[in-house]
Every structure is written in structure tokens, then in C-alpha cells.
Amino acid sequence: MPGGRLTQQERQRIALGLADGLAYAEIARRLERPTSTVTREVMRNGGPAAYRPDQAHRATEHRARRRRPAPAGTPARSDGRDAAAVRDYEESFAEAFMQSGLPRMTARVLAALYATDTGSLTAAELGERLQVSAGSVSKAVAFLEGQSLIRRERDDSRRERYLVDDELWYQSMIASARANERMVGIARQGVAVLGPGTPAAERLENVARFMDFVSEGIVRAAEQAREILLAGPAAEETPDAP
């Protein structure tokens, strides 16, 4: 099975496969590459609708030139962590967020925040860490705030900081459930407009019932699991008293 970076010819074949409506697994099979390689390649470069092989190839070469790995055995960070390993992890984390539907820059910002010990960074720190403009950071954090995935506060120096914490996962799940509830209402409004008993109305009623069930499940699970977020891993490892 081929290894190493994708070639420009392989990227052209990926683009052709996407145009033909092939699944990532089928494209990967034809290239004799892991499915994860094709998935990362497409999601890192605009997604299936916006993937452009030439642009993707140039972007990969640019990232390769920009990287400056620390010498082997020499930590390049003040916290002692391996800089290259942290950078690669953040990229993998961002790709996971992208596969869940987040835009690339938004995913990178969120991954960077989660990979800091404090869970918070200023806009300037995010821009420096990700090597992007202030405008790109601003758009990303605005989106994340709207999805209840981050929040902002001012530190002792009155600087605005963006941060993540465990409670935000709970809030995000509840926001998702509320969005589902709105969809239930819209679907049932369509039932009344299109006429109960018609094929269109029955289709919408099925959607409403499905989304209603999913929404209730999300809220119930989030409420039950909330204490896990608040307790932290240390509480789970504590043995029960005799």
C-alpha cells in the first residue's frame, strides 16, 4: 500500500471520484490508500463540494515549508511538550471537528483552545498560534459563540479572552436539542398547511416524530451525563469507601 504524501495525480483522481459521487472508501480503495487519508485530505481542503486538487496540492506544500520541527530530543516549548507532536495533534483534533460539520478555521480555533492548559487564549494569541489574520479569528469565534461552544471573558488586564470549559459541552448538547425542537414545530406546521393524511403531510409528521424523539433523548442523556463533566476523571478513579 502506498505511503507518504499524496501526489498531485492522486489528488486529481480524488477530485474525479468526488465528481462521480464516489464514497471516500471507494476512492481510497482505487488509490490503495487508507480511507482516513482521503477523508482528511478532502475535509482539510474545503470539503467534497469545494475540493480543488491543484489548490490542495499547493496548500500541502505550503504547510510543509512552514513547519519547522524541533530537533530530536529537544523540546521547543516552555512547557516541555514536543512542539511537532502538539501541532500534529491539534491538526488531527481540528479534522475531527471538521468531519462533524465545523468549517476549517472554526475547527482549528476550537482545537487550539482545547489543547491549552488554561483552555483560553486571546484573539492575538490565537492568530499567532494558527498563523492567521485577526479577521479569520474574529469570524471563527463569532460562529463558535453562536453555537455555545466557547465563551468570552476579560482577564485582569482587561483583555478579552476566548475559553472553553467542560460545561460548554452540556450547553452545546442542549442547544442542539432546542434546534431539533424548532424543526419539530416547523414540520408540524407543514402538516397543517399541506393537509393531514396527504403524502407530504405524513412525511413531515414522520420527520417531526423522529426529531422529537431524538431531542428528548439528547436532553435526557445530557442531564444524566452532566455530572461526569463536573466531577472530572479524578472522581471516577477514586475507589469507593469500604
- Greatest alpha-carbon pair distance for the chain in Å reads 71
Q: Is 46 helix (H, G, I), strand (E, B) or coil?
A: coil
> Which residue carries 416547523 as its cell?
186
Q: Is 238 helix (H, G, I), strand (E, B) or coil?
A: coil
| pLDDT, tens digit, 9 for 90 and up, residues 8-38 | 899 999 999 999 998 888 998 999 888 888 8
Q: Which residue has the higher pLDDT, 232 or 169?
A: 169
Interatomic CA distance for residues 119 and 164, integer angstroms: 5
Query: How high is the mean pLDDT of the chain?
Result: 83
Residue pair 208/187 in contact by the 8 Å Cβ criterion: yes
> Which residue carries 491543484 as its cell?
54
* Region 48-71 average pLDDT: 74
Q: How many helices (H) and strands (E) does the chain have?
A: 10, 3
Any idea which of 13-22, 190-199, 222-231 has the lowest mean pLDDT? 222-231
Residue pair 128/168 in contact by the 8 Å Cβ criterion: no
Residue pair 67/83 in contact by the 8 Å Cβ criterion: no
Cell for 215? 431531542
Pick from 64, 104, 106: nearest CA to 84: 64
Residue 47 has pLDDT above 80, yes or no: yes
- pLDDT band of residue 65 (cuts 50, 70, 90) is low
Q: How many CB atoms lie within 10 A of CB 76?
A: 15
Residue pair 183/213 in contact by the 8 Å Cβ criterion: no
* Region 40-53 average pLDDT: 85
Q: Which residue has the higher pLDDT, 13 or 71?
A: 13
Question: What sign has the CA pseudo-torsion 77, 82, 86, 87?
Answer: positive
Q: What pLDDT was estimated at residue 187? A: 94
- pLDDT band of residue 217 (cuts 50, 70, 90) is very high
| pLDDT, tens digit, 9 for 90 and up, residues 89-127 | 888 888 888 877 788 899 999 999 999 998 999 999 999
Residue pair 83/77 in contact by the 8 Å Cβ criterion: yes
Q: Is 67 helix (H, G, I), strand (E, B) or coil?
A: coil
Interatomic CA distance for residues 98 and 109, integer angstroms: 11
Residue pair 113/164 in contact by the 8 Å Cβ criterion: yes
- Per the confidence metrics, is the pTM higher than 0.85? no
Residue pair 39/24 in contact by the 8 Å Cβ criterion: yes
Q: Which residue has the higher pLDDT, 82 or 199?
A: 199
Question: What sign has the CA pseudo-torsion 44, 49, 53, 59?
Answer: negative
Amino acid at 140: A
Q: Which residue has the higher pLDDT, 4 or 220?
A: 220
Q: What pLDDT was estimated at residue 2? A: 52
Residue pair 229/208 in contact by the 8 Å Cβ criterion: no
Residue 64 has pLDDT above 80, yes or no: no
Q: What pLDDT was estimated at residue 140? A: 93
